[in-house]
């Protein structure tokens, strides 16, 4: 009877150990899943930061190119204004020379 009692207690302890083991395995699986999710989130975050950094570099480069193009455009505009001013000055000088020539002819 004592052996039966011990055997029953051992079966009960074994059943409890199986349940404890099952719960521990479930907890482990759950923890692994959470860790995996966290790792994926970290990887996605890193990737997002890389994309943002790449976009920022591209925007900075575009801005540099835009400034360079603007500077070239400004230089062209200055050059055209200068050409226009030079052309207008030449025209005024020609008009003045014609007027002098005409007034000289009138005096003669």
Q: How far apart are CA 3 and CA 16, in angstroms?
A: 20
The whole-number pLDDT of residue 96 equals: 92
What letter does residue 77 receive in the DSSP assignment? H
Q: Tell whether the model's pLDDT for residue 1 goes beyond 80.
A: yes
According to the model, what pLDDT value does residue 57 have?
95
In this prediction, residue 73 carries a pLDDT of 84
Question: If DSSP codes are grouped into helix, strand and coil, which group holds residue 1?
Answer: coil
Q: How confident is the model at residue 25 (pLDDT cuts 50, 70, 90)?
A: very high
Helix (H, G, I), strand (E, B) or coil at 12: helix
Is residue 60's pLDDT more than 90?
yes
For residues 66 and 72, what is the distance between their CA atoms, to the nearest angstrom?
10
Beta strands in the chain (DSSP E): none
pTM for the whole structure? 0.45
pLDDT reported for residue 14: 93
Q: Decide if pLDDT at 44 tops 90.
A: yes
| Residue 3 to residue 81: CA distance in whole angstroms | 115
**In the block, which residue shows the tokens 């759950």?**
30
């Amino acid at each position: 009877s004592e052996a039966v009692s011990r055997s029953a207690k051992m079966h009960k302890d074994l059943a409890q150990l199986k349940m404890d083991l099952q719960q521990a395995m479930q907890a482990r699986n759950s923890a692994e899943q959470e860790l995996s999710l966290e790792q994926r989130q970290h990887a996605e975050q890193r990737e997002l930061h890389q994309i943002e950094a790449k976009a920022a570099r591209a925007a900075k480069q575009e801005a540099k190119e835009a400034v360079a193009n603007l500077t070239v455009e400004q230089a062209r505009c200055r050059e055209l204004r200068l050409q226009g001013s030079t052309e207008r000055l030449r025209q005024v000088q020609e008009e003045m020379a014609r007027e002098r020539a005409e007034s000289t002819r009138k005096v003669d």
